[in-house]
């Protein structure tokens, strides 16, 4: 009975007309009176016409929860039909004898992962508690987990995960992806919370291995993404090795994640090699590679790849424009960047968004075309956000235009009154001009508004372990050796004629105190530790959550020459590859 030929005819339906013919046969044979066959009919009809499916459903005398669930599930697969799914769910709630069951909720939670339905998720969770008895069905638990992961509620996600006695592979993957995505940003910056989330993903992967669950493609992409965020090269390379050892397919998803990871971990050559080896490359993969060239300051290579991508028939998307313009901005290729921006609408039919205008303002600002940058900002078709004004403020600081810097900060304090970086940028400008009263005024503003300066920290990878340093940090077990090494470094650099850029210090203190303060910036402590703890043949890889200051940039170039060590620093904006006394950014950052 369950293999009736009518089911095969339903599967072969390719239009509403053919469906109606099969429906007629079901009516004449009496099959339309059986719940099992009705469920297949509803499922198929919803693909061609929601109105026709509802008409069939409304003709059913006393539909069961099973049939309600069938149609709800069908509607949640189509974004423009989700409202019909919730309408049916409300019918269940108002029914005298029916109530939702374990098969009702998973598809609804799946729909709640997308705007504008996110807000319906928490009330739906309350209904789970009301109508279902624990222990809940694994599908219900997983749907809740997926929803809160998408919702960005990591505490709730972790709590729900801990309630599952034997999580399957999909559940582990959801948790890993939740942590990795929470730490992901468009930029290459990181902060304490990002680092914690990425570390948690790595620890969770270890727990997953102990549970004897074998990772799949989804697992590896989440793991590699966490390694990218954390700059954990050793763990990322292990994931790559796992793919090779187990003869897993290096498809475009895993390949793109690896290209992004090697780029963000300071191994641009490995990223290029892997990119060239991939047999299947889509727009996302090209974006990752272009982005890698961009943060290393290789504007010409990024632009060349952008053109190659179009030759291969791939269509640039909004992210492609962002990373390519970023590359132009950080390489001083202003006209090329402007051409790409103008091509968005004229060639590709894309309306520029805020992030594209942000790239435009940064492009012009870095090149010193501040007046033009401000004019473009004020002529935008949408209201500028804080990112754009901050870009203008950064450009004003770079080129010493105090008037424009003060004007930009005025807008920033209205949009983001609690963001410390805005005040620090202007304070830097005042400090560079030795206007200490103005520096103090900015600090008073910060104090009055309860704004705390974001602490600078650096991470350094030593033998696969990440070591974290704050500015002036003495908490590390090797603190004594680190500070002795700092003293040795300072003496060697003085012999090379280095003079500290004390204008980088935002305090009106004695010159000697300023020099001491600069010596204990977080990245210098990280470099000193690496010189103590790692083999001299290995490059030093550091991640810093803030922009590298001018003095640290100058001193790291000298350290790379004096100690014959490659030093790769990823700050909040880009990579700096220091080698033999020079930097890959060509001092343009």
* Contact between residue 41 and residue 10 where contact means Cβ atoms under 8 Å apart: yes
User: pLDDT digit string (tens) for 34-54?
Assistant: 888 889 999 889 888 888 999
Q: How far is residue 197 CA from its own chain's centroid?
A: 12
CATH says 166-280 is which class? mainly alpha
Greatest CA separation for the chain: 99
Give the residue with greater pLDDT, 142 vs 497: 142
Percent of the chain, pLDDT > 70?
93
pTM of the model: 0.75
* Contact between residue 427 and residue 437 where contact means Cβ atoms under 8 Å apart: no
Looking at residue 515, its pLDDT comes to: 44
CA distance linking residue 536 with residue 530, whole number of Å:
9
- What are the residues whose beta carbons fall under 8 Å from the beta carbon of 251, sequence distance 6 or more? 217, 280
User: Between the CA atoms of 475, 480, 481 and 487, what dihedral angle is there, to the nearest 10 degrees?
Assistant: 110
Percent of the chain, pLDDT > 90?
44
Strand partners, 578: 567, 583
Residue 29, pLDDT > 70, answer yes
User: pLDDT digit string (tens) for 500-547?
Assistant: 655 554 443 333 334 445 567 899 999 999 999 999 888 999 988 888
Residue 181, pLDDT > 90, answer no
CA distance linking residue 563 with residue 576, whole number of Å:
17
| CB atoms near residue 525 (< 10 Å) | 28
CA distance linking residue 240 with residue 300, whole number of Å:
28
Looking at residue 510, its pLDDT comes to: 38
Q: Which residue carries 């339309």 as its tokens?
A: 32
Which own/partner contact pairs does 462-467 have at CB distance under 8 Å and 24+ positions apart?
462/529, 462/530, 462/533, 462/534, 463/234, 463/534, 464/232, 464/234, 464/235, 466/195, 466/199, 466/230, 466/231, 466/232, 467/526, 467/529
Q: Provide the pairing of β-strand 540-544 with 582-583.
A: unpaired
Looking at residue 502, its pLDDT comes to: 52
Locate the domains of the chain by residue range.
166-280, 457-583
User: pLDDT digit string (tens) for 403-455?
Assistant: 888 888 888 878 887 777 777 777 877 877 778 888 888 888 888 777 777 77
User: pLDDT digit string (tens) for 357-387?
Assistant: 999 999 999 899 999 999 999 999 999 998 8
Q: What is the DSSP string of 513-560?
A: HHHHHHHT-HHHHHHHHHHHHS-TTSPEEEEESSPPPHHHHHHHHHHH
Q: Which residue carries 């350290």 as its tokens?
A: 559
């Amino acid at each position: 009975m369950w293999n009736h030929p009518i089911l095969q005819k339903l599967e072969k339906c390719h239009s509403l007309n053919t469906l109606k013919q099969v429906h007629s046969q079901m009516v004449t044979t009496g099959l339309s009176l059986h719940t099992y066959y009705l469920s297949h009919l509803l499922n198929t009809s919803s693909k061609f016409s929601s109105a026709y499916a509802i008409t069939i459903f409304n003709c059913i005398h006393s539909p069961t929860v099973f049939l309600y669930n069938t149609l709800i599930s069908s509607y949640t697969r189509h974004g423009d039909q989700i409202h019909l799914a919730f309408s049916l769910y409300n019918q269940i709630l108002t029914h005298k004898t029916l109530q939702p069951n374990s098969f009702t909720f998973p598809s609804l939670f799946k729909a709640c992962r997308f705007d504008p339905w996110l807000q319906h998720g928490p009330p739906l969770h309350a209904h789970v508690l009301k109508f279902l008895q624990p222990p809940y069905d694994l599908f219900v638990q997983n749907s809740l987990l997926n929803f809160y992961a998408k919702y960005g509620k990591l505490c709730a996600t972790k709590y729900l995960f801990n309630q599952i006695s034997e999580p399957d592979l999909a559940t582990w993957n959801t948790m890993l992806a939740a942590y990795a995505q929470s730490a992901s940003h468009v930029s290459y910056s990181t902060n304490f919370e990002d680092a914690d989330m990425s570390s948690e993903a790595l620890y969770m992967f270890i727990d997953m291995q102990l549970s004897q669950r074998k990772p799949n493609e989804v697992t590896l992409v989440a793991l590699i993404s966490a390694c990218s965020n954390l700059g954990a090269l050793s763990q990322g390379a292990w994931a790559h090795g796992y793919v090779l050892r187990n003869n897993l397919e290096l498809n475009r998803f895993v390949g793109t994640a690896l290209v992004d990871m090697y780029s963000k971990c300071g191994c641009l050559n490995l990223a290029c090699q892997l990119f060239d080896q991939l047999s299947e490359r889509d727009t996302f993969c090209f974006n990752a590679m272009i982005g890698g060239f961009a943060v290393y300051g290789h504007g010409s290579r990024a632009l060349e790849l952008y053109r190659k991508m179009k030759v291969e028939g791939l269509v640039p998307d909004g992210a492609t424009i962002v990373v390519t313009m970023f590359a132009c901005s950080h390489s001083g290729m202003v006209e090329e960047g402007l051409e790409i921006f103008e091509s968005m609408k004229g060639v590709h039919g894309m309306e520029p968004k805020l992030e594209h205008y942000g790239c435009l303002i940064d492009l012009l600002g870095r090149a010193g075309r501040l007046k033009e940058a401000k004019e473009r900002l004020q002529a935008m078709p949408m209201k500028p956000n804080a990112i754009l004004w901050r870009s203008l403020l950064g450009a004003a600081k770079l080129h010493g235009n105090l008037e424009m810097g003060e004007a930009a900060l005025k807008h920033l304090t209205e949009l983001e009154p609690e963001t410390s970086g805005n005040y620090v940028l202007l304070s830097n400008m005042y400090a560079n001009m030795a206007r200490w009263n103005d520096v103090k005024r900015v600090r008073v503003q910060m104090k009055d508004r309860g704004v705390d300066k974001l602490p600078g920290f650096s991470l350094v990878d030593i033998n696969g372990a990440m070591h974290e340093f704050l500015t002036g940090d003495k908490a590390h077990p090797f603190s004594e050796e680190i500070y002795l090494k700092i003293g040795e470094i300072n003496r060697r650099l003085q012999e090379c004629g280095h003079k500290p850029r004390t204008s980088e210090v935002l305090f009106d203190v004695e010159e000697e105190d300023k020099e001491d303060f600069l010596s204990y910036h977080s990245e210098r402590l990280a470099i000193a530790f690496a010189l103590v703890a790692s083999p001299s043949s290995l490059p030093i890889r550091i991640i810093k959550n803030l922009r590298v200051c001018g003095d640290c940039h100058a001193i790291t170039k000298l350290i790379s020459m004096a100690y014959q060590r490659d030093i790769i620093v990823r700050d909040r904006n880009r990579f700096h590859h220091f080698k033999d006394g020079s930097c890959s950014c060509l001092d343009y950052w």
